[in-house]
Amino acid sequence: MSHTRGNPVDSDAAPIRLLYAEHEPDDIELTLRQLEKSGIAVEAEPVSTREDFLHKLGEKPFDIVLADFRLPGWTGMDALADIKKLGLDIPVILVTGTLGEDKAVECFKLGITDYVLKDNLGKLPVAIRRAQEEKSLREAEARSAEALRESEARYRGLVHNATYGIYWVTIPGELLYVNPAVVRMLGYDSSEELLALRDSSALFRDPAVRKRTLIEYMTTGRVETTVEWKRKDGKIITVRINGRRVQDPKRHEECVEVIVEDVTERLALEKQLLQAQKFEAIGQLAGGIAHDFNNMIGAIIGWADLGLEETSADSRLHRHFEKVRQQAQRAAALTRQLLAFARRQILEPRDIDLNQSVTETLSLLEKVIGSDIEIKSKLAPDLAVVCADPTQVEQILMNLCINARDAMPDGGTLAIETSNIHFDETYCTVQPYARPGHYAMLAVSDTGTGMDAATLDRIFEPFFTTKEKGKGTGLGLATVYGIARQHGGFIHVYSEVGIGTTFRVYLPVSMSPAQVPERLEDSREIRGGTETILVAEDHEGLRELALETLKNLGYTVLAVPDGEAAVLEFERERDRIDLLVLDVVLPKMSGPDAYSHICELKPAIPVVFATGYSADIALINEAHRDRPILQKPYSPRDLARKIRDTLDKAHLVAQR
């Protein structure tokens, strides 16, 4: 069945005739809706089987073929093969869920025009227009080649105004003609200036690559490959070249006509996509490990705290407990870094002034940076307020500055800068994590050793480090990356070997200009009580720790290992229980689900949810999101204060 969608931007233009090989109706609807939204009018014919596809090809002409890479019983590449077998010139664009880099390169080599991922359909209109342009150019070239003997001027005009780069070159490499697109692509002022190079080898980053393309041309009579060119300003770009044999009408000798497309941006985006997918996979692994470690580390710290309280300060056993506690705290810090990279830390954001954070951190840094490193700061006086966790912002700055210090073993300059930045949609199309809007920028620059491209590709991976063994965990920059991403920001890095490195962290500007006052450290005395508390915790060590801590403070404690047991225990003891302590993630039934069941029996029962994983908070019912959260790993003091505060508030509410 045919689908006509959208209104063309040019009302006189006919709809694009689209043959769509896809077996999922929802995907078809989403794709057509995206094209309609972009102003592209299409007359679409969806098919799901190869037989229907071949039938439609023979029934009427089509401008574009869209195809999923994997279809029941056949593939998008089979569709391409059928088109070629019939001798048709129809661009094929893959619209697929996933496609690895190697597979994408293979598809391009076989003749696929382009590909678009289903979770990024916003690029499909551009791909369709580009495919139409490419097809139009091929058709124009064919017509021009036929009419070359009759009208060289007409052909010259077409080449001169083409959006793709076109140049003519002799077999030895002498440039004969370049169109304006090539001139713009390479950054020259005129075609005469570019032709003055004479030898086309000067265009290539590696002249030896030109020799290899010549060998390919001499062998096959054509050349089609991707190479690196060097612009006039020295910048390297990646281009796709497609050359064929033609006759130079002036010299009456063979030369090569080459069509050039700048694919630098496309390849960069593909690389960024692959890196983002890699970081997401690593982040999920790191977050999962850290989530489980939180429970074990919390139990170790808690038991060490109890041991310290029950032994005299001058005893040998007290010192042993102190050592255990110190090592456990180091492990907890490592866990927090892993959670930060995985963007699963529980944040306490508030409106802060980055300039103030920089000033306060610099006073600490001067003691650890070293006298051989000069610290300079350039802070924007009108810097916008950002909504961020101040502790995490300090962590970003400390990690970047310590990293800069280590990159300058012989001394140098450390520069810290802040400024206001606005990113438009154009910039955000080439920066995968950026969203249009206003940002506060924090830059940390050094004049150190710098990094090569291979190192830059890996610097944000957990446990990757260039430092010698035993120095550095490789989590500093991974932590910075995770914190920035969790705050809705992103990082840009520029580095040159022997010159230095600049990290720019962009954090979204707060919607509210107000600032929250600094929170003071809680120094209140630990207080107990006589209430009855139901604790649901699946980790045995933490469950025993909570039981011991709360009993020592005078509470009556009922401890269970899962959510179902918590509900059953409450049903038996509902009149005795004054407060619940529920881990968010529990076997059999989650803490929030257990709480919802318990609230049906006693709606006003106070609760404290325990978690060390920000993603777990999403499990809490919207109606209960304002309930207290106890962040793991917690100390016995944290547990005691949170429970006493919650009970006191519940008593006040009951008295009103």
For the segment 447-483, what is each residue's pLDDT rounded down to a tens digit?
Answer: 888 887 777 777 766 655 555 544 444 455 777 777 7
- Residue 267 in domain: no
Same domain assignment for residues 180 and 234: yes
Whether 238 and 173 map to the same domain: the answer is: yes
Q: Which of 117, 138, 159 is the last residue of a domain?
A: 138
Q: Give how far Cα 369 sits from Cα of 372, 398, 629, Å.
A: 8, 10, 37
Identify whether residues 419 and 563 lie together within a single domain: no
Residue numbers in the chain where pLDDT is lower than 70 = 1-13, 145-162, 249, 251, 268-295, 298, 329-349, 363-364, 366-368, 425-433, 460-476, 512-524, 612-623, 625, 633, 656
Which among 109, 138, 167 is the end of a domain? 138
DSSP 576: T
Number of domains in the chain: 5
How does pLDDT run across 406-456, given as a tens digit for each residue?
A: 888 888 888 888 888 887 766 666 566 677 888 888 888 888 888 877 777
Whole-number pLDDT of residue 523: 57
Q: Which residues contact 55 (CB under 8 A, 6 or more apart)?
A: none
> Are 567 and 597 a contacting pair, CB within 8 Å?
yes
CATH code where residue 438 lies = 3.30.565.10
* pLDDT in the model for residue 331: 65
Q: What's residue 287's pLDDT?
A: 54
Residue 114, amino acid: D
pTM (2 d.p.): 0.38
Tell whether 503 and 419 lie within a shared domain: yes
Domain boundary pick from 341, 359, 386: 341
For residue 42, being part of any structural domain is answered with yes
pLDDT in tens, 301-358: 777 777 777 788 788 887 877 777 777 766 666 565 555 444 445 545 678 888 888 8
Kindly state whether residue 527 falls inside one of the protein's structural domains: no
Is 519 inside any structural domain?
no
Element (H, E) at 406: helix 390-406
Contacts of 413 (CB under 8 A, 6+ apart): 373, 374, 375, 376, 445, 446, 447
Q: Is 518 part of a structural domain of the chain? A: no
The answer to whether residues 96 and 239 belong to one domain is no
Angle at 273 between CA 272 and CA 275, to 5 degrees: 65
**CATH code of the domain containing 244:** 3.30.450.20
Long-range CB contacts for residues 237-245, cutoff 8 Å, separation at least 24: 237/185, 237/262, 237/264, 238/262, 238/263, 238/264, 238/267, 239/165, 239/185, 239/263, 239/264, 241/213, 243/213, 243/217, 245/217, 245/221
The reply to whether 256 and 281 lie within a common domain is no
Q: Give per-residue pLDDT as tens, 26-48.
A: 888 998 898 888 888 889 899 99
If asked whether residues 249 and 282 sit together in one domain, one would say: no
* Residue 204 maps to a domain: yes
User: Tokens standing for 193?
Assistant: 């200036």
pLDDT at 428: 62
Give Rg (Cα) of the chain: 33
Q: How far apart are CA 22 and CA 53, in angstroms?
A: 10
Q: How far apart are CA 251 and CA 626, in angstroms?
A: 82
d(C-alpha 560, C-alpha 543), whole Å: 8
Encoding tokens for residue 571? 């049903």
Contact 53/85 with Cβ under 8 angstroms?
no
Q: 239 with 122, same domain?
A: no
- pLDDT for position 579: 93
One domain, residues 647 and 556: yes
Q: Identify whether residues 497 and 356 lie together within a single domain.
A: yes
User: In the sheet that 175-178 helps form, which strands lie side by side, from edge to edge?
Assistant: 175-178, 165-170, 253-262, 236-248, 222-230
Domain range for 226: 149-262
Same domain, 90 and 171: no
Burial class from Cβ neighbours inside 10 Å (0-12, 13-18, 19+) for residue 549 reads: buried
Whether 513 is covered by a domain: the verdict is no
How many angstroms separate the CA atoms of 588 and 564, rounded?
6
Assigned domain for 515 exists: no
Same domain (yes/no): 404, 481: yes
